[in-house]
Amino acid sequence: MTVHLYHWEPNANSGKPMLALAEKGVAFESHYIDLLKFDQHQPDYLKINPDGTIPAMVHGDHVLTESTPMMEYVDDAFDGPRLKPTDPKERWRMRWWMRFFDSYFAPSLSMIGWSVFVGPAVRQRPKEELEAAIARIPLESRRIAWRKAMFNEFSEAELTESRRRVHYCTGILEDHLARHEWIAGTRYSLGDINGFNLGYALPLSQPDHCNDAKTPRIMEWLRRIYERPAAKQIWSLGRTAMAQRVKFLERAAHA
């Protein structure tokens, strides 16, 4: 059964199942959904995922739309290297940190990213076109997010709090990696795949907080993941400058 993956760039939620599939050695049929052209809200895609969010994975009769549980499905359903620890305590730690990345770290980091990248990338279009695009978004929460990005409605207080949290989270992650080689403990796992998708560009987007001097363990952790053949394979699929930021992690670049 062919796996069909509907995704945008190898970045954030889209990149999670992409990298998990590559690590398992599972070939998939790639369907590129251009977030900035609102492909995810077009009728053809809404037939696959009526919520209009990406990524989505179709495997036989099954349609999966939540990226982190989707990664666990990839590990459960396919042969290949195990991407979850065998120890239940380490599995719990992996899941806790994935939720930390998804629900605490990512919303703040993405608010900054959307204010400086996604918003400006679409904002020059006519207001009527943007309003029509918002009207096609199925979920209220996504309509709110897109409106904020399109019309630059992020308040300075919101962005200040997001910057504070990103700084705070970066410190927590650095401390965690001082105690554990990988997110779950002793082995590379889905937790690292999740964290890499969130943080591969932190050294570029947050250079004052994430660098070799202040966060050496995060830097080493990111480089170790980027050196994996699966990561190289997936990030080579990127079509935009955003995904190209990963090359900052090449050791030769700073030798």
Partner 1 sequence: MLELYHSEPNTFFLKPLIALHEKQAPFDSRWFDAEGLEQFELGFSGDVEAHLHLEREGPLLLHDGTLISSSFFMLEYIAEALPGLPLLPESAIDLYRARASGQFLGAHLGSLVPVLGCMRYLAPKLAAMDRTRLISTLAEVGPQERRLAWQALLDGTYSPQILATARERLKFPVSRVEATLQHGDWLAGPGYSIADIDAFAMLRVIPDLAPEVLNKTATPRVCEFLARIAERPAVKAALAMSRSGKPAQHFVPGVEPSRWG
- Contact flag: residue 170 with partner 1 (CB under 8 A): no
- Contact flag: residue 79 with partner 1 (CB under 8 A): no
User: Which residues from 107-126 bind partner 1, rule CB under 8 A?
Assistant: 107-108, 111
User: Is there a contact between 5 and 78 (Cβ–Cβ < 8 Å)?
Assistant: no
Q: Which is nearer to partner 1, 68 or 235 (CB)?
A: 68
Burial track 83-97 (b if 16+ CB lie within 10 A, e otherwise): bbbeeeebbebbbeb
User: Which residues from 20-59 bind partner 1, rule CB under 8 A?
Assistant: none
Which segment (93-101, 200-208, 228-236, 241-249) binds partner 1 by CB under 8 A? 93-101
- Contact flag: residue 172 with partner 1 (CB under 8 A): yes
What is the nearest approach in angstroms of partner 1 to the Cβ of residue 238? 25
The Cα 64–Cα 176 span in angstroms is: 31
Taking the mean position of all CA atoms in its chain, how far away is CA 121?
19
Q: Which is nearer to partner 1, 148 or 228 (CB)?
A: 148
- Contact flag: residue 73 with partner 1 (CB under 8 A): yes
Which segment (3-11, 39-47, 65-73, 221-229) binds partner 1 by CB under 8 A? 65-73
Q: Which is nearer to partner 1, 169 or 231 (CB)?
A: 169
User: Which residues from 176-195 bind partner 1, rule CB under 8 A?
Assistant: 176
Q: Which is nearer to partner 1, 76 or 208 (CB)?
A: 76
